[in-house]
Copies of this chain bind each other. A is one copy, B any other.
Amino acid sequence: MKVENCKAEMCRAIEVVSGHGHDLSPPEKSPLTGEDLEREGEDLFVPPLNFAMVDNGIFRSGFPDSANFSFLQTLGLRSIIYLCPEPYPEANAEFLKSNGIRLFEFGIEGHKEPFVNIPEDTIREALKIVLDVRNHPLLIHCKRGKHRTGCLVGCLRKLQRWCLSSVFDEYQRFAAAKARVSDQRFMELFDVSSMKAFANVTFSIHTSCFGINRKR
C-alpha cells in the first residue's frame, strides 16, 4: 500500500492498488454494464445515505457501508475523497482495493456549533483533487453527507460561479434540519479567486460528457 503525503499533511492519498495512476483511460475495473446487471438478477441497489450526482464524474454521499458496495460498483469509481479523521473501515478499504479505487483522506473534525471550524486550506486542497478529471469518477463523502461534504460541494459551486442563494439551497437540501449558519458563512467567505487556474477544468466538468474541453 502506497501512502502519499500531500501539502501540509492535510491529505493522505492511499493507492490501495498500485497501477493505473493518473492516465485518462477508463478505470481498470470497468463499471457494470446493463448486461452484467441482468446477469446479476433482480437484486435492488442501495445507494449510500444522501447519495447524489454533483456533476459529471463527481458524486456525493454519507458514509457507504457494505450494503452500498454493489451500487457503487455501477459508478466505476476511480477515487474517493473521505473528509473524516476516523480511520477508514477495513471492509471499505477492502472494497476500494478490489475495485482499484484510490482513497484521498482529508481529516476534518465534525465539530458542532458553536465550535465549527472548517479548515479553509484543507477544503482548498480537497477541491483540487475534485477538479482533477484524472481522479474521476470520484465520490466525496463524510459521515452523513451533510456538513463537510456540503461545504466542499458548496465551494465547488462558487468556483462554478453559482449565486450564493443557489449554493445555500443545495446545501440545505442535504443538511435539512441540521443546516448550520456557520457552514453557510464559511462558504460565503471562501475565496475562489486564488483558484482561477482551475476555472476551465471546472467548467469543462459540465460538458465533459459531450467531448468538449476534455482530453481523453
Contacts and interface: CB of A to CB of B under 8 A. Distances in A.
Interface of A: 26-27, 30-35, 37-38, 42-47, 49-57, 71, 74-76, 136-137, 160-163, 166, 169-170, 173-174, 176, 199-204, 206-213, 216
> Which are the 4 A-B pairs with shortest beta-carbon distances?
A34-B200, A34-B203, A31-B207, A44-B163
A208 to B, nearest CB: 7
Contact of A207 (B46, B53, B76, B169): B76
A160 B212 contact: no
A34 to B, nearest CB: 3
A212 B46 contact: no
Contacts of A176: 173, 176
B34 A166 contact: no
B74 A26 contact: no
A26 B212 CA distance: 9
A137 B209 contact: yes
Contacts of A212: 26, 30-31, 33, 76
A72 to B, nearest CB: 11
A1 B162 CA distance: 34
Max count, chain B CB within 10 A of own CB: residue among A38, A162, A207: A207
A186 B192 CA distance: 44
B53 A55 contact: yes
A33 B32 CA distance: 31
Contact of A37 (B35, B57, B162, B203): B203
Given A38-B199, A57-B209, A75-B206, A45 B137 contact: no
B206 A74 contact: yes
A216 B209 CA distance: 10
A206 B31 contact: yes
A200 B35 CA distance: 7
Contacts of A201: 34
A137 B55 CA distance: 13
16 contacts: A30-B210, A34-B199, A38-B199, A44-B161, A44-B163, A45-B160, A46-B162, A50-B173, A52-B52, A52-B170, A52-B173, A56-B56, A76-B206, A76-B207, A136-B209, A137-B209
